[in-house]
Chains A and B, each alone.
Chain A
Amino acid sequence: MSFEYAPAPESRDIVDLKPSYGLFVDGEFVEAKNSFKTIDPATEETLAEVAEAGADDVDRAVAAARRAYDTVWGPMPGAERAKYLFRIARLIQERSRELAVLESLDNGKPIRESRDVDLPLVAAHFFYYAGWADKLPYAGFGPAPRPLGVAGQVIPWNFPLLMLAWKIAPALACGNTVVLKPAETTPLTALAFAEICAQAELPPGVVNILTGAGETGRALVEHPGIDKVAFTGSTEVGRLIARSVAGTDKRLTLELGGKAANIVFDDAPLDQAVEGIVNGIFFNQGHVCCAGSRLLAQESVAEELLDRLKARMATLRVGDPLDKNTDVGAINSAAQLAKIRELSDSGEAEGATRWSPPCELPERGFWFAPTVFTGVAASHRIAREEIFGPVLSVLTFRTPAEAVEKANNTPYGLSAGIWTDKGSRILWMAERLRAGVVWANTFNKFDPASPFGGYKESGFGREGGRHGLEAYLR
C-alpha cells in the first residue's frame, strides 16, 4: 500500500527578502565594491544580491572588532555579556519560523529539519553559552581565564545558522569579539542574525559579518589583526589554514571532513538501525561532516538489513524543501551536485553496485536521489573520500575486531555509529573507534552541552559543552 501525499508547503511570506544585502561591520550594514547572487538551490531562482567583502572591508571589520574588544566587550563583566547572549537566544526563538524558512530557501534543506533541528539547536546553543559567560573561573581553565581577543571565523553552507551559533556563542561568552564569514551559497541567515544583534543592542563591532567567497575567507584568516581562527569546512582548506597560521601567535581550531562508519551487528534491533542509517546518511541530503557514509554491516545480517534499508529508502520523499512532507531536499549548489555525481560515477566505474529507489526529481534546481552502493571495497573512492551527499557505501565485516579495523581505516576521525543490543560490546567498540563522537544505537544527535569535534584529519578542538570554551580562552 502506498500513500499519496498532498503538498503541505510552509508559507514563505514570513520571510521579508531584501533585493540586496550589505556587510555588517561595526554595528551597521555597509556597501561593498562587489557583490554576488545567492540562489534558491531548489529552483535556481535568485534570492538576493549580497555584498562581497574585499581586503579593505576585512581591515575595517577587524579594526571594529578590535575596538569593541578593547573598549566594551573585553572589559564588560561576564554577567552583562551573559544577558546579551540570553537576549540573542530569545530573539532567535521569537524569529525561529522566519529563520527556518529563510534557511531552507537559501540552503535547500527540508523545512522539517530547519524548523525542528537547526533552529532549536541554534537558540539552545546561545542559551547554553550565555550561562557560561559569568562562570568561566569554574570551567577548569584556571581561576582567571581571559579571552583571546578578535576571532576570525569561517563557516560552511551545510548548517549555516547552526555553525554560526557554534562559532559565535562560545566566542562571545568568553569575551572575544568576532568577524564571521558565512559560506557564499548560504549568506542570508547570517545577515538575519546581524539584524538580531542590532535588535539585541549588542555593542557595535562585537559581531561583524562579512559575506564573500574563498578570497574573503583567506583575507580574514591571514589578517594580522586577529588572535584566533576557527574554521569549519573541508579538510583541504583546513590544511591551507593550518599552514597559513604557522609561525604566528594565532590560535586555531578546525572542524573538517569525515567518512564515518555506521556499524551494525547482527544482534542490533534492525528497524531502529535502519532508521539510524537513513538518518545518518540522508539527513540534510548527506551534507553533514559527521554523516554515517560507510555502512559496515555484519555479514550474517547484511542481506536482511539491506532489504529493509531499501524498503525504507523507497518511502523517502525528495523535493520541495518548503514542503513539510519532504525528507530529502535540494543539493546546495551546482558545484556540489557535480562533485556528488562524479564520485558516484567513480563508484560504478570501480565496480560497486548502485541502487536508488524510483524517485521523481524536479526539473529545475539541484537534486540527487538517495543512493546506496553495495559490493564496495575499502579501496574504492566512495569508501575513502567524503562525498557530502546522499550516497551510502556498504561494506561488510565478520568480527568486532574487523569492524574496528575497517572503521578506523581512514584519515578522518569525526564520528562513528554502533548498533548492537550488547552493552559490553558497545563500550568495547567505543573505546577502540578513533572518532570524536560515537553514537551508540542512535546517530546524528547534537546538543550544546555535548562536545563535538574530530580526531586525526577531521581537525582539532571541540565545539559544544565545557570543552568548547577552551578554544576561546587563554
Chain B
Amino acid sequence: MSERLSVRKTYKLFIGGAFPRSESGRTVIVNDAKGRFLANAARASRKDVRDAVVAARKAQAGWAARTGYNRGQILYRVAEMLEGRRGQFVEELRGSGLGKAAATAEVDGAIDRWVWYAGWADKIAQVTGSANAVSGPFFNFSTPEPTGVVGVIAPDSPLLGLVSVLAPVVVTGNTAVVVAAESAPLPAITLAEVLATSDVPGGVINLLTGHRAELAPWLASHQDVNAIDLTGAPGDLAADCERAAADNLKRVRRPVADDWAADPGTARMTAFLETKTVWHPVGI
C-alpha cells in the first residue's frame, strides 16, 4: 500500500477578509532552508496594494467605532486560535530554517503578544489621554484616536516580528495593510487563516506577500494611507519611502533595531494615534 499523498495548501493574499491570488497572476517560489520547494507564494502587485488600501479604508470607521472591550476580545480570540494551531506554526517556522526550540519560542511569543496587546484596547486611552487644567471655565480633555489606515512593512522575523508590528497598529482602531517578510512569507498567510477565524472584521488586516522593494513605495505614496511603519524596510528603501510619505504627510515610524523578545512598551501604539482635544464651557 502506497503512502498517502498530502494535500498541499495554496498560499494566497489576504485582502478584505478574502484570500485572492495576486491580480497580476505572479508568484514567487518559496523554498525551505535546505532549498527544497515549499510553495508558490503570491507576488502582490501595485493593484493588490491599492485593493488592500480600499478594503482597509472601508473597514476603518467601523473598527474604530467598536468598543475597546470588543476589540480586546477579538485580539484575545486571535491568541486563542493561534494557540490551537501552535504545532502547525512551529512546523512552518522550522521550514523557514528555525530550530525546534527557536520556532516554539517564536510561536509562544507571538501568542502571548496578542494577549498583551488585547488587554491594551480599553486601557491605552487612560494612559495617553488627559483631563487638562486650563485657566478658565472650560471642561477640556484629550483622548487618543486611531490615525486611520496604516501601511506596515513587516520585519524578517516571520511570525513574532509580524505580530509585534501588527497588533499595536490594529488594537487601537487602525486598519492595516501589511507587506509580509519577503524571506519567509508563508507564516503570514497562515496567520491570515487564524485572523479569518477570529472575528476580525474583513479589511481590518490585509496581508500581502511579494517583494518589499516593489510594494513598499506604492504604500508609502498612496494618498489614502495615513501612516506607514517602515520597520522591515532596509535603509535606502526606508528613506525613499519616508520621502514619498511626505506627500500627504503620513506619520512615519522609521526602522530601529528591535528585540522582539523584549517588553514592547507603548511606543508602537502611540506612533499611530492622534490626540484629540475637546473644549466646552462650564456654566449654568
Do A450 and B276 form a contact, CB below 8 Å, given A239-B249, A456-B249, A457-B248?
Answer: no
Cβ of A143 to closest chain B Cβ, rounded Å: 12
CB of B213 closer than 8 Å to a CB of A: no
Q: How many residues of B contact A (CB 8 A)?
A: 34
CB of B134 closer than 8 Å to a CB of A: yes
Do A460 and B249 form a contact, CB below 8 Å, given A247-B243, A465-B142, A467-B142?
Answer: yes
Name the one of B128, B235, B243 contacting A243, with C-beta atoms under 8 angstroms: B243
Do A441 and B242 form a contact, CB below 8 Å, given A436-B274, A450-B132?
Answer: no
Chain B residues closer than 8 Å to A246, beta-carbon distance: 239-240, 242-243, 245-246, 252
**Do residues B275 and A438 form an inter-chain contact, with CB atoms below 8 A?**
no
What separation, in Å, do the CA atoms of A242 and B274 have in the docked complex? 18
Closest to A272 in B: B281
Chain A residues closer than 8 Å to B174, beta-carbon distance: none
- Binary B-proximity of A107-126 (CB < 8 A = 1, otherwise 0): 00000000000000000100
Which residues between 400 and 437 of chain A lie within 8 Å of chain B, taking CB atoms? 411, 426, 430, 435-437
**Do residues B278 and A440 form an inter-chain contact, with CB atoms below 8 A?**
yes
Which residues between 201 and 256 of chain B lie within 8 Å of chain A, taking CB atoms? 226, 235, 238-240, 242-243, 245-249, 251-252
CB of A256 closer than 8 Å to a CB of B: yes
Cβ of A216 to closest chain B Cβ, rounded Å: 21
Cβ of B280 to closest chain A Cβ, rounded Å: 4
Name the one of A239, A247, A438, A460 contacting B277, with C-beta atoms under 8 angstroms: A438
Cβ of B80 to closest chain A Cβ, rounded Å: 30
Cβ of A292 to closest chain B Cβ, rounded Å: 13
Cβ of A234 to closest chain B Cβ, rounded Å: 12
Chain A residues closer than 8 Å to B226, beta-carbon distance: 456
**Do residues A450 and B246 form an inter-chain contact, with CB atoms below 8 A?**
no
Please give the residue numbers on chain A whose beta carbons come within 8 Å of chain B beta carbons, in ascending order.
124, 140, 235, 238-240, 242-243, 246-247, 254, 256, 411, 426, 430, 435-442, 445, 447, 449-453, 455-457, 459-460, 462, 465-467
Closest 10 CB pairs of A and B: A247-B239, A242-B246, A246-B242, A447-B134, A246-B243, A243-B246, A440-B280, A449-B132, A438-B278, A450-B132
> Could you jot down 27 A-B contacts, CB within 8 Å?
A239-B246, A239-B249, A240-B246, A242-B242, A242-B245, A242-B249, A246-B239, A246-B245, A246-B246, A247-B239, A437-B276, A437-B278, A437-B279, A440-B278, A442-B138, A445-B134, A445-B138, A445-B279, A447-B135, A447-B136, A449-B133, A450-B134, A451-B142, A453-B275, A455-B147, A460-B251, A465-B142
